[in-house]
């Protein structure tokens, strides 16, 4: 979902596109997400989690407050 929506935009991304890219059946997709919006929102949450973790790691690794601000 993330890669397709990034390339085409959310409106142009179909469930069929996601099924093909993820090699899922429609029944598997429905069991996991139910609809396109839920799939997108779960993908969004996963991406945000990765970004927050990376920023947090960079912030914690910095030696000074100013370096923490820059790294964050």
Which residues does 43 contact at the CB level (< 8 Å), separation at least 6?
1, 2, 5
Q: Residue 72: what pLDDT?
A: 66
Q: What is the value of pTM for the model shown?
A: 0.78
- In CATH, the architecture of 2-71 is Orthogonal Bundle (1.10)
Q: Residue 57: what pLDDT?
A: 87
| Other CB atoms within 10 A of residue 52 CB | 10
List, for residues 16-58, the tens digit of each pLDDT value: 999 999 999 999 999 999 999 999 999 999 999 999 998 888 8
Q: State how far the Cα of 21 lies from the Cα of 10, in Å rounded to an integer.
A: 15
List, for residues 60-72, the tens digit of each pLDDT value: 888 888 887 777 6
């Amino acid at each position: 979902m993330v890669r397709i929506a990034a390339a085409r935009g959310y409106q142009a991304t179909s469930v069929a596109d996601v099924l093909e890219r993820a090699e899922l059946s429609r029944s598997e997709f429905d069991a996991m997400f139910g609809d396109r919006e839920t799939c997108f929102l779960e993908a969004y949450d996963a991406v945000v989690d990765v970004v927050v973790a990376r920023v947090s790691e960079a912030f914690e690794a910095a030696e000074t407050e100013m370096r923490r601000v820059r790294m964050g």
